[in-house]
Chains A and B, each alone.
Chain A
């Protein structure tokens, strides 16, 4: 019965406190939309590049026409020399320069290899990738054509096709067919928002109790005697609220912004309940540090980015140093982000994310015990003070 009373108290507190509502209701509803809105253009197209064509031959023009025709790159200017092109880079009117040697057509007709220079402003890997992909794809296509027309001399059309690509290949980008940014950024952000807003909400609620109860984290009330009940009662409230948020993220946000959605509801539910419980318990443990309501923002907000990087999604897990990987096992987000990404984005089943689920289970147990110990300590301290 005490659990229900504590659950009800927490509900009352939260919904009478605009500050906490901001964190546990508005933030999880608004942030996913904002982030999805930032990233859903998905891809950069038509990166402006400058061209210096010293060859001025029909072959070099053919090369440039094909580059211009790729979706990634757009030729913004034809320059007479590199100095002129470089000043376009400086003004950011172009992000790369394609330089075609004066020797281009001559070399090709004589069967020598020729080099096309690609100079990139490295301000963004995306621009570099666009320019490099466009040039390399065009060169591959033209190389095939030159090889067949000039040297292999096929007799039929079919033979020409075979000579162009004796072994064909096909590339499939799985789970993110358009190679978009939102499809890989947003799903983990959704789970990160759940964890961070729980930390903020629980932290602020803790700061609030301390401010209201003269430094104590729990009210002077006969219902608050057993630490296990306190921890479970509070957790129950956040669990109920956050299941709604999780479903909102999984269904509404994903649909609204057409993010990849391969997951089954059942797998998702099986994953997300332990994840929320885990985050709640760690939130209670961490809020031990929070003495005033607003402190939670100072401590928790900046953590999101380091936590996002350590989970091994945008920065490959295989490149993360060991000590950071071990550190990352302390946070629910490491497992939560990976599991959610694979369930919702890649259609993994709950057994495919067994490693992550084990991690969450161990964390939940450990943080539950820690949260209980913290509350037991607080209750004892309070009783002593009373005596």
Chain B
């Protein structure tokens, strides 16, 4: 036992020696994750995008329509940037990317409304800009709704209904939304909790496959295998422990930055979410070893890691839900560490639900951690007989 530990220790020291000669390694595993962390939290600093450029085409231009436009201008998400003379001009501005949406009030709207001829106003959003489009849509719909209600309100006043009763008539049912645990709809909380770990796991997978394959590339795999006493378990464990320590530190740093410094919602102890993160770090490393063990070439191992690592950011389903994806991705998600991290994060940090409902993810992660066992024989074979292929 003592000998095994000693071997692992020495291989680790050898690994650190290799690291110290390649500055790029340090960039990839230390600087890059930190840059991503700062970058993504900065880009979404304001939480929810507000004041997005929007235009208006007011062909009627009466005091009534101007007051509708003023209501629109006062909305939270809308930055009423420009008035256009015609529909076509507004559409052109949209195609030039100057506005995300516009409001269209046709000629004679006021006249028709006063004469009970039911005029129609309309609004258009460029839904190729999904977030901007749907946020603005909400504002534009509210404004349109209010325009009609203003008329009803005038009618009711005319009929002599008391102002205190009017609200109950105009909006008898009002919806009160309670976005649980993220009441301000903070996109930074929503996206960064997954994007940053997602990129971090991607880097971990790539780098793990790279460092293992590096031995073949440098032609030192046999030397390593001898150092490990002809055991691929010891060789891999020895190679990976120094970087594992580093990853753990970074994962803790990310969590402390999110939950303590930025104050992202955390409904369980910090310790629990750090544990979830670390488990996913190990699972990512295990997957990388597994992929390398399957392909046994640096190039293919890394390609598999990058495909999987990039794809799992989509497939984990935090933007486009997994429940809407094709079944093949729903199966694939079971082996994705990021998917399970997302489930654990939602269950624990975001909502503080009971842990018992998260057990499938924990079991799945533990199973992923065991995956390298299936390729140890292949690796042992590769250490002895396989050479580097460019």
Binding site for B on A (CB under 8 A): 17-19, 22, 34-35, 37-39, 41, 43-45, 63, 89-92, 107-108, 111-129, 132, 135-136, 139-140, 142-143, 146-147, 150-152, 159, 161-163, 165-177, 179, 181, 183-185, 187, 208, 211, 260, 289, 291-295, 297-299, 301-302, 304-306, 309-310, 313-321, 323-324, 338, 341-342, 345-349, 352-353, 355
Q: Closest Cβ of chain A: how far from B344's Cβ, in Å?
A: 11
**Nearest 10 pairs of A and B residues by beta carbon:** A169-B144, A176-B127, A319-B49, A166-B151, A44-B324, A316-B132, A122-B182, A348-B95, A123-B346, A168-B120
Which A residues touch B144, using CB under 8 A?
A: 167, 169, 171
Q: Closest Cβ of chain B: how far from A314's Cβ, in Å?
A: 6
- Bound Cα distance A112, B164 (Å): 10
Nearest opposing residue in chain A for B154, CB measure:
A166
Which one of B268-276, B280-288, B315-323, B377-385 contacts A?
B315-323
Q: Kindly identify, within residues 56 to 73 of chain B, every residue whose CB is under 8 Å from any CB belonging to chain A.
A: none
Which B residues touch A147, using CB under 8 A?
A: 152, 169-170, 172
Q: Closest Cβ of chain B: how far from A361's Cβ, in Å?
A: 17
B168 and A113 form a contact (CB under 8 A): yes
Render B110-137 as a binary contact track against A, CB cut-off 8 A, 1 for contact: 0001001111111111111111111001
Render B30-56 as a binary contact track against A, CB cut-off 8 A, 1 for contact: 001000100110111110011111000
A315 and B43 form a contact (CB under 8 A): yes
Q: Does B302 contact A (CB under 8 A)?
A: yes
B127 and A175 form a contact (CB under 8 A): yes
Nearest opposing residue in chain B for A122, CB measure:
B182
Nearest opposing residue in chain A for B100, CB measure:
A316
Nearest opposing residue in chain A for B92, CB measure:
A352
Known: A113-B167, A122-B190, A147-B170. A43 touches B324 (CB 8 A): yes
Known: A120-B177, A169-B121, A346-B126. A292 touches B217 (CB 8 A): yes
- Bound Cα distance A229, B376 (Å): 49
B179 and A128 form a contact (CB under 8 A): yes
- Bound Cα distance A355, B95 (Å): 12
Nearest opposing residue in chain A for B200, CB measure:
A302
Which B residues touch A313, using CB under 8 A?
A: 128-129
A316 and B190 form a contact (CB under 8 A): no
B128 and A175 form a contact (CB under 8 A): yes
Q: Does B1 contact A (CB under 8 A)?
A: no
Given B52, B109, B213, which contacts A294 in the complex, CB threshold below 8 Å?
B213
